[in-house]
Structure 1
Amino acid sequence: MGFFNNAKLEPTPELAPLTKERIKATLEASSWSYHVDSDGDIGSGWDHGVIWFFTYGNQAEILQVRGIWDGKLSPDDLPQALDVVNEWNCDRLFPKGLCPDQRRGPAPGDL
């Protein structure tokens, strides 16, 4: 046996289009609080940061989830953080991690 076989698969129902309303409904179904900013972007806060849900594309058909950690690193920890993030990005396709100089702002990561 194995994971793949020659069995006929039944067609799956078509997915509903991606909409901001579906994103909000999904968050509400999980009892997660969220807010909508003046641009219509959806954000939600968790223990140590904020997660944003963006839609892109000609028909807003692309979902991007971006997390921003609100922690602070000491200047002495920055080289080690850069090493960890660079290793992570080399070994994994996603989520992408960034470790900018914190004097310039927060450190985002894309899912």
Structure 2
Amino acid sequence: MGKDSADDLAPLSLTRVEESLTRHGYAFVEDEEHPEILRARFDDYRFQFMVSGDEHGVLQTRGRWSHSVDVSRKVQMVKLCNEWNMNRIWPKVYVRRESEGLLGVYGELAADFRAGALDSQIDSAITCGLSTVIAFFHSLEERLGAEIDELDS
């Protein structure tokens, strides 16, 4: 058996998430207003890591696409997100209104560790969350092509 064993299952905590990010060499900051959230940037996308759920056993990795979208393009963006969600297990992707006229596009992966987690499982959940959310953002950029220049204006 590898270095992890069932005896190493331990409750999920934000400290363990910090340790995992540090093991990967990822820079992150704590959110002073929201102590349950860690923030980081990957490929110019903003990410947050949260421990949530009734038993604080769910690790959520959430990324925000680096572009804002005018609300007039909501149907197009929802369609692109739905297409992704229908064809893939994860990450869950969605559009959210952030202000009167602007939408944000998000990707998120939740991992249920209510029974506890090995360090390697937390590492894998973070790696999977980052890589799949970034893959969605890259796919979105590829699908939109030159239209991206119109989004932030």
Q: Same fold (TM over 0.5)?
A: yes
- Matched pairs, number: 100
Higher relative contact order (CA 8 A, sep 6+): 2
Q: Distance in 2 between matches of 1:83 and 1:105?
A: 14
Amino acid at match of 1:27: L
Contact 1:95 1:109 in 2 (8 A): yes
CA radius of gyration, larger in: 1
Report if the CA contact (8 A) 1:48-1:71 is conserved.
no
Q: In the alignment, is the contact (CA less than 8 A) between 2:84 and 2:93 conserved in 1?
A: yes
2:53 maps to what in 1? 57
Q: TM-score, normalised by structure 2?
A: 0.55
Q: After the TM superposition, which parts of structure 1 deviate over 4 Å for at least 4 consecutive aligned residues?
A: 73-80
After alignment, is 25-34 or 63-72 more displaced? Answer: 63-72
Q: Secondary structure at the match of 1:17?
A: coil
Stretch moving more, 59-68 or 94-103: 94-103
| Two-structure CA RMSD over aligned residues (Å) | 2.3
Inter-partner Cα distance in structure 2 for 1:86 and 1:27: 30
- Counterpart Cα distance in 2 of 1:50 and 1:76: 24
Identity of aligned residues (%): 25
> 1:98 aligned to 89, 94, 107, which one?
94
Q: Distance in 1 between matches of 2:103 and 2:70?
A: 14
Aligned to 1:17: 11
- Would you tell me which structure has more helix in proportion to its own residues? 2
Structure 1: which 5+ runs fail to align? 1-11
